[in-house]
Structure 1
């Protein structure tokens, strides 16, 4: 359109009365389409293009009055309310996704790797003794979660009361292939969190109540094997860990 176009001039006059700037483009498009359709209908009746455009514009009435009517429909208050509502909905959706998928990146990745050497070194610095490093190299699968248990470390720590002073630390990694599928918490579990899906026992029938998913304490020195059992949502697996007591004190 050029500046002499009567449709453009009419729409500009209407939009000067519309205060909400984001409504002006839609109003201009709607009015222009209506004017073009009316002018085309008049041309089919024999009017020249100039006459058809002039009569189409005249049929719309006073542009200032039309603009004020449209301003009431597209008031700044309603427009601003609509924008704020959309922003609120986006924020709520974002917060909902954050709560449903916490700390879950949207790709396949190594989601957790536990290497207990720093914990063990801290114990050794305080008088503990590393009895044995036990190679495992065992894989387990829970739906889309793959777990690789690489090593176990048998450690003698200072006795606490009458309980045995032997602890077992596991080393390994987790791969989460589907970031949207929650299969259970395999990170550290304390008494302030939901019950752990992991339990420990041994070949003598001892059950170890105090445990995290990657360590267990107060092992019976007569046991030759420790069993890690995962049980949650109908998914089960067992990891058998042979104990190498060597020259344990």
Structure 2
């Protein structure tokens, strides 16, 4: 009979819409005996083998009918031409070794694991991208564009605070009508030292100038971000011409950090 092994191609079928001389019961019994010997094929592969066997029998019946045989005689001749089902199954079984079944199962499991990993790591991937943005170009974040000052200057002041990096990336200045006083805005973000790590949501910083009172030393005029990076704006910090810098301090949990952020008075015209 024609090659039924994996990769074998059946010749063009000569089909006619006639009822097969091989009864459905006999055909399925023949296929069952073949498949009983193919022990390591997957259910999908066994279904494909069954379909191929049925197609061969249909083709043979059609060929006998066209050759002039009586329909009743095609049954015996078709089954005889197919050969011994156990021998066919044993031959096919050699093409479906146990290793092939194991490989197909392992491939399926790996595919599922890869899809699951991608699905569950997608939020972490988003956090990592936000962390990288804070490290490289925080000024392009959506939060950075929410506030505008008359005079702005890009900065890159960084300090370690716990597992995070504090980055002050922009300072803004609005000058009052007297020309001697004004308000400063500090744009800053923080991100974990590990690009795949999670960052703290706010760092409880204090901001001081000669014009600030004790009650004005803490500001929280807005923030945003997610677990990958956190953005904040310390707005309306009062300053005078005597303030060349805003002092930013962190003093919590036994850790102390002090930074000086220059005020861009020299940009004022």
TM-score range, shorter chain: 0.3 to 0.5
TM-score by length of 1: 0.47
Report the structure, 1 or 2, having the larger helix content: 2
- Bigger radius of gyration, 1 or 2? 2
TM-score by length of 2: 0.45
